[in-house]
Chains A and B, each alone.
Chain A
Amino acid sequence: MIQLFKMALRDLGRNRRRSFFSSLALGMGLALLLLMASFIKGEMGSAIDLTIRLQSGHLQVRANSYDEVKTSLKWEDLVEDPDQVASQIAALEPVKFATPRLFASGIVAVRDESAGVRIFGIDPLSEANAPYRDGLVSGQFLTSDDREGILIGAPLAERLDLKVGDVATLSVNTSNGDVDEQAFAIRGIYSTQTNGFDSFTVFLPLAKAQTITQAGNHASTILVMLKDIDQTQAVFNALQSSKLKVITWEEMNALILQTEEFAAAYMVVLYLIVLAITATVIMNTLIMAVFERTREIGILAALGMKGRRITAMFLAESSMLAVGGIILGLVLGSLVVAYLTRFGFYIGNMGISGMLIGNTIYPDLTVEDTVTLSITALVVTLLAGLYPAILAARMEPVEALRGGK
């Protein structure tokens, strides 16, 4: 066995440049696959993280009849006395924090221009606001007793040409089905680097939001963040009650999970094509090697080497090519991924609003993907090497000896 590998290594060394290029082809293919896989992981992983952090939380507690799509403000669709419910939930051990939020639809208008927005009534003191507070671009964050101030996202501010201190009219739907409007001052402008969120989300202090929407002492939801995401199911069970319904982040992010599956299916097509091309290149190199060495193979066979062993020798050769290629691919791939992880890949505004995807994607290369793809590359290379190896084994010793030049 060792002897086989020794021979294979020497054979590869006979035409170093060719062997190098074959490995390079495999390496480039593998690097490309690693990049694509890490990209999708990065995009989807960050989409889920972002949504949890910015919007959905790990769990939400809502009234049974609440329908997220409608942003209803009817009292029977809302959570009554939210502060008390929130503090009860926050008392649970795995819960990091729980905070009430009130959602409404509205329009921000300045001069002749306007934009449809979602209004988030938030408790300004809650830790849950960290992503918005840390993302403040200018101005101040909201305070609990602010009755005239709103916080808007940077893209919206830019679109409507608003600066801190400017006044904009906000129209909001109310619990009786009407629309109310009031002029607000822009207290601050935030950016979470997520266009789909920042363009459409306006923050108001919860108390003010309750007043303007005539929601009384109600909230749309209690947003719950856990210390550990793995506790979701346990807390979900603990929170079950007849009056309120509990929703997990998995339910709220079903669309992202679906998209991930779809993207994965699309990627399989790409993988197959890339691997097929790589395989043909390797197969061709080995076929050439077989024909070059027709006489040698004849000698080996004449000396009594069995066909199976000749096959094994060529397979050893292709497996070494594969190993070389995989090493090259891992090096190339991790260099590119490391670069992109550091600097990110800016995707700009794709108008994605139904799903939160950051403006910049940072690829995420997992060990699992690396191992799976490397093994796939190895298997494909061995399969590609099978045909030339069998070709070599089938040669008749006598003819092979006479063949060649």
Chain B
Amino acid sequence: MRLYFRLAWRNMWRHTRRTFIIVVAMGLGLALMMFYDGIVAGFNQAIYGNAIKVLGGNIQVHAEGYRLKADRMPLLPLTDAQAVVDAASADPRVESATRRINTGGLASSVEGAFAVGITGIEPEQEQTVNLAAQHVIAGRYLKADDGDVIFIGKGLAEAMGVGVGDRIALSGRSKHEQMRRRTMTVIGIYDLGMAEIEKRTIYISLAEAQDLYNLTGQSTEVAIVLRMLGQESVVIEALKPKLPGYEVESWETNFPELQSALGTKGGVMNIFSVIILMIAGIGILNLLLMAVYERTREIGLLGALGFRPSQISLIFVLEGTMIGLVGVVVGIGIGLLINGMLMRVGLDYSQFGNITTYMALIEGRIYPGWGVDKLASRALTVAIISALAALIPAREAAHNEPAKALHFV
């Protein structure tokens, strides 16, 4: 086998310029994929960081059946929230686990009305991990025994024209009942620098939420903050067996549309990149056709020496694949260069904050990643396409009659 590799490798570099050009073509194809992967990674990263901040945790635990209805924010109380908190807190990787109530509502003042997410929190327990608590710009953060007061974002305060001490009406539905409406006083205003998100998130104390939504002593979510980012899946796996009957999930579940959007775009991009690689594959095909023609005598010689047609084919298929793989190496170089440059500049997405809920989580610029996470499968695609492109010339080579080929001038 090593012999074939050596032969193919040597053949490949007999016409350096030719090979080099095709290698560049393949490399550009791969670089394009890396560019895309890099942007997706940057996009995810930008959303990830802020989603955790806004959602109040890397991991959320909900009652069974919540996932299906996640976009409706159902008031599904946890069977035993304290047990969940205890189980999570026992894990050394967990920084904090706090109870919450999440629901939707309508905040209105004379200026207008906004559909908002209302989050009941345990103020003391979240003090150190809640970003809103750390970015109070007016008034104060919540206290456990606060009643009839809310803690809102700067974006909402500005849009509604309210300040600390002003009153706004808050409506939301309660468990087993009609809508609940209450006028509340703004106690404090936080600023996360994401106006769109601030418009959608208001905080009240857990006790107040329990009272307002008829959930005495209950909560709908346990938000878990980890000490380190990136350990979500490990901790989720560790917690799941301890918490049967609960849904333990990472932040992504809260944005089902994001997954579907990335899925569709990724699918389209995969088709595009395969077509682009096929174009480069035609380059390999042409190059090898030429090579087969040029090396007619050599092929005849190999045939005369006893190489079987399949073995001769193999040499050419290997040559094509190797060109593809060298292309991968060049492509990684180009891709890293492009992504490296973009990382320094960043891409401005800020104007699209209004389009979707998840886009609102992007503040300012996106900094792409290196785009190397999917490299293995991308490289495999390149190798397969290169090998396929080499098939026609390889068959051609194998069909040469040794005696005739030797006489070929």
Per the CB 8 Å criterion, the residue count for chain B at the interface is: 72
CB-contact partner of B17 in A169, A287, A349, under 8 A: A287
CB distance from B289 to the nearest CB of A (A): 6
A350 to B69 Cα, complex, angstroms? 17
Among A24-32, A92-100, A203-211, A236-244, the stretch that binds chain B is: A24-32
Contact with A along B66-104 (1 / 0, CB 8 A): 000101111110000000000000000000000000011
By the criterion CB–CB under 8 Å, are A274 and B113 in contact? Answer: no
B105 located at the interface, meaning its Cβ lies under 8 Å from any Cβ of chain A in the complex:
yes
For residue B263, which residue of chain A has the nearest CB?
Answer: A348
Contact with A along B143-158 (1 / 0, CB 8 A): 0000000000000000
Q: Could you say which residues of chain B place their CB within 8 Å of the CB of A355?
A: 354-355
B253 located at the interface, meaning its Cβ lies under 8 Å from any Cβ of chain A in the complex:
no
Among A63-71, A79-87, A133-141, A367-375, the stretch that binds chain B is: A63-71
By the criterion CB–CB under 8 Å, are A106 and B106 in contact? Answer: yes
Per the CB 8 Å criterion, the residue count for chain A at the interface is: 68
B185 located at the interface, meaning its Cβ lies under 8 Å from any Cβ of chain A in the complex:
no
Q: Could you say which residues of chain A place their CB within 8 Å of the CB of B173?
A: 107, 109, 112-114, 169
A349 to B285 Cα, complex, angstroms? 41
By the criterion CB–CB under 8 Å, are B278 and A28 in contact? Answer: yes
With contacts A113-B69, A159-B72, A348-B260 taken as known, whether A280 is within 8 angstroms of B25 at the C-beta atoms is: yes
By the criterion CB–CB under 8 Å, are A72 and B280 in contact? Answer: no
Q: Could you say which residues of chain B place their CB within 8 Å of the CB of A350?
A: 257, 260-261, 264, 356
By the criterion CB–CB under 8 Å, are B115 and A73 in contact? Answer: no
By the criterion CB–CB under 8 Å, are B279 and A107 in contact? Answer: no
B222 located at the interface, meaning its Cβ lies under 8 Å from any Cβ of chain A in the complex:
no
B138 located at the interface, meaning its Cβ lies under 8 Å from any Cβ of chain A in the complex:
no
By the criterion CB–CB under 8 Å, are B279 and A255 in contact? Answer: no
For residue B19, which residue of chain A has the nearest CB?
Answer: A284
A178 located at the interface, meaning its Cβ lies under 8 Å from any Cβ of chain B in the complex:
yes
B178 located at the interface, meaning its Cβ lies under 8 Å from any Cβ of chain A in the complex:
yes
CB distance from A340 to the nearest CB of B (A): 12
| From B114, B160, B173, B176, residue with most partner A Cβ within 10 Å | B173
By the criterion CB–CB under 8 Å, are B110 and A176 in contact? Answer: yes
Q: Could you say which residues of chain B place their CB within 8 Å of the CB of A174?
A: 108
A116 located at the interface, meaning its Cβ lies under 8 Å from any Cβ of chain B in the complex:
yes
By the criterion CB–CB under 8 Å, are A353 and B357 in contact? Answer: yes
A179 located at the interface, meaning its Cβ lies under 8 Å from any Cβ of chain B in the complex:
yes
By the criterion CB–CB under 8 Å, are A177 and B282 in contact? Answer: no
Contact with B along A9-26 (1 / 0, CB 8 A): 000000001100110110
Q: Could you say which residues of chain B place their CB within 8 Å of the CB of A379?
A: none
CB distance from A252 to the nearest CB of B (A): 13
Among B28-36, B244-252, B298-306, the stretch that binds chain A is: B28-36
With contacts A277-B279, A348-B260 taken as known, whether A284 is within 8 angstroms of B287 at the C-beta atoms is: yes
By the criterion CB–CB under 8 Å, are B355 and A352 in contact? Answer: yes
By the criterion CB–CB under 8 Å, are A179 and B181 in contact? Answer: yes
For residue A28, which residue of chain B has the nearest CB?
Answer: B279
A405 to B21 Cα, complex, angstroms? 24
A113 to B181 Cα, complex, angstroms? 16
A292 to B286 Cα, complex, angstroms? 13
Contact with B along A97-141 (1 / 0, CB 8 A): 000000011110100111111000000000000000000000000
CB distance from A197 to the nearest CB of B (A): 13
| From A277, A287, A353, residue with most partner B Cβ within 10 Å | A277
Q: Could you say which residues of chain B place their CB within 8 Å of the CB of A322?
A: none
A221 located at the interface, meaning its Cβ lies under 8 Å from any Cβ of chain B in the complex:
no
| From B71, B264, B355, residue with most partner A Cβ within 10 Å | B355
From 238 to 289 in chain A, residues with beta carbon under 8 angstroms from any chain B beta carbon are 255, 258-259, 262, 269-270, 273-274, 276-278, 280-281, 283-285, 287-288
A74 to B260 Cα, complex, angstroms? 39
CB distance from A64 to the nearest CB of B (A): 16
Contact with B along A24-51 (1 / 0, CB 8 A): 1100110010001000000000000000
B18 located at the interface, meaning its Cβ lies under 8 Å from any Cβ of chain A in the complex:
yes
A273 to B115 Cα, complex, angstroms? 44
Q: Could you say which residues of chain A place their CB within 8 Å of the CB of B290?
A: 18, 288, 292
How many pairs of residues, A versus B, come closer than 8 Å at their CB atoms? 216
From 341 to 389 in chain A, residues with beta carbon under 8 angstroms from any chain B beta carbon are 347-355
With contacts A105-B114, A115-B104, A160-B72 taken as known, whether A21 is within 8 angstroms of B24 at the C-beta atoms is: no
By the criterion CB–CB under 8 Å, are A178 and B169 in contact? Answer: yes
By the criterion CB–CB under 8 Å, are B106 and A107 in contact? Answer: yes
Q: Could you say which residues of chain B place their CB within 8 Å of the CB of A17?
A: 289
CB-contact partner of A173 in B76, B112, B256, under 8 A: B112
For residue B24, which residue of chain A has the nearest CB?
Answer: A280
CB distance from B12 to the nearest CB of A (A): 14
For residue A68, which residue of chain B has the nearest CB?
Answer: B112
CB-contact partner of A21 in B115, B171, B285, under 8 A: B285
By the criterion CB–CB under 8 Å, are A116 and B115 in contact? Answer: yes
By the criterion CB–CB under 8 Å, are A104 and B113 in contact? Answer: yes
CB-contact partner of B286 in A22, A72, A159, A262, under 8 A: A22
By the criterion CB–CB under 8 Å, are B106 and A105 in contact? Answer: yes
CB-contact partner of B160 in A21, A70, A274, A348, under 8 A: A70
By the criterion CB–CB under 8 Å, are B113 and A105 in contact? Answer: yes
A74 to B113 Cα, complex, angstroms? 11
For residue B287, which residue of chain A has the nearest CB?
Answer: A284
Q: Could you say which residues of chain B place their CB within 8 Å of the CB of A160?
A: 72
Q: Could you say which residues of chain A place their CB within 8 Å of the CB of B171?
A: 107, 171, 179, 181
From 282 to 329 in chain A, residues with beta carbon under 8 angstroms from any chain B beta carbon are 283-285, 287-288, 292
By the criterion CB–CB under 8 Å, are A112 and B104 in contact? Answer: no
By the criterion CB–CB under 8 Å, are B104 and A105 in contact? Answer: no
Q: Could you say which residues of chain A place their CB within 8 Å of the CB of B356?
A: 350-354
CB-contact partner of B279 in A29, A159, A349, under 8 A: A29
From 1 to 44 in chain B, residues with beta carbon under 8 angstroms from any chain A beta carbon are 17-18, 21-22, 24-25, 28-29, 31-32, 35
CB distance from A383 to the nearest CB of B (A): 14
For residue A258, which residue of chain B has the nearest CB?
Answer: B351
For residue A199, which residue of chain B has the nearest CB?
Answer: B71
By the criterion CB–CB under 8 Å, are B35 and A255 in contact? Answer: no
CB distance from B324 to the nearest CB of A (A): 13
A173 to B24 Cα, complex, angstroms? 62
Top 9 closest A-B pairs, CB basis? A351-B257, A116-B115, A70-B112, A173-B113, A354-B354, A177-B110, A350-B261, A281-B283, A354-B355
> 14 additional contacts, CB 8 Å, given A177-B109, A352-B261, A354-B352?
A18-B290, A22-B282, A112-B74, A114-B73, A114-B103, A171-B181, A179-B113, A277-B276, A281-B279, A281-B280, A349-B257, A349-B260, A350-B260, A351-B261
Question: What are 23 inter-chain pairs, A to B, with CB distance below 8 A?
Answer: A18-B289, A18-B290, A67-B112, A70-B112, A71-B112, A105-B108, A112-B76, A112-B175, A113-B173, A114-B72, A116-B116, A171-B106, A173-B106, A173-B113, A179-B106, A270-B32, A273-B28, A280-B21, A280-B24, A281-B280, A292-B290, A351-B260, A351-B356
